[in-house]
């Protein structure tokens, strides 16, 4: 691809290609060209999804680590409070 489209625009174009191929109204040469473009768009979308999944897993891991740290800090018992002596 000469310039990277957004995931959404690539997905829309891929859906249009699928519709055209399923319609059966394209000639052989056009169908082959559409198929090749579809594969290109599929790889692009798959890469975007894989990247997003990796980022989400990284964020979830960071969130879990932060929760664990917070839980550890709360689990540390506070020193006992001694009643004040009447004076």
For the chain, the domain total comes to 1
Taking the C-alpha atoms of residue 9 and residue 17, their distance in angstroms, rounded to an integer, is 12
The pLDDT value recorded for residue 71 is 77
Structure-model confidence comparison of residues 79 and 66, the more confident one: 66
Torsion sign, CA atoms 52, 58, 63, 67: positive
Domain residues for the domain of 64 are 7-74
CATH number reported for the structural domain that contains residue 53 in this entry: 1.10.287
CA angle (27 as vertex; 26, 33 as ends), nearest 5 = 85
- Residue 55 domain flag: yes
Question: pTM for the complete prediction?
Answer: 0.68
Confidence of residue 74 (pLDDT cuts 50, 70, 90): confident
């Amino acid at each position: 691809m000469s310039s990277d489209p957004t995931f959404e625009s690539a997905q829309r174009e891929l859906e249009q290609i699928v519709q055209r191929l399923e319609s059966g109204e394209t000639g052989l040469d056009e169908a082959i060209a559409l198929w090749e473009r579809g594969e290109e768009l599929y790889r692009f979308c798959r890469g975007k999804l894989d990247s997003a999944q990796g980022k989400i897993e990284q964020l979830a891991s960071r969130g879990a680590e932060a929760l664990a740290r917070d839980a550890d800090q709360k689990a540390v018992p506070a020193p006992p409070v001694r009643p004040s002596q009447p004076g």
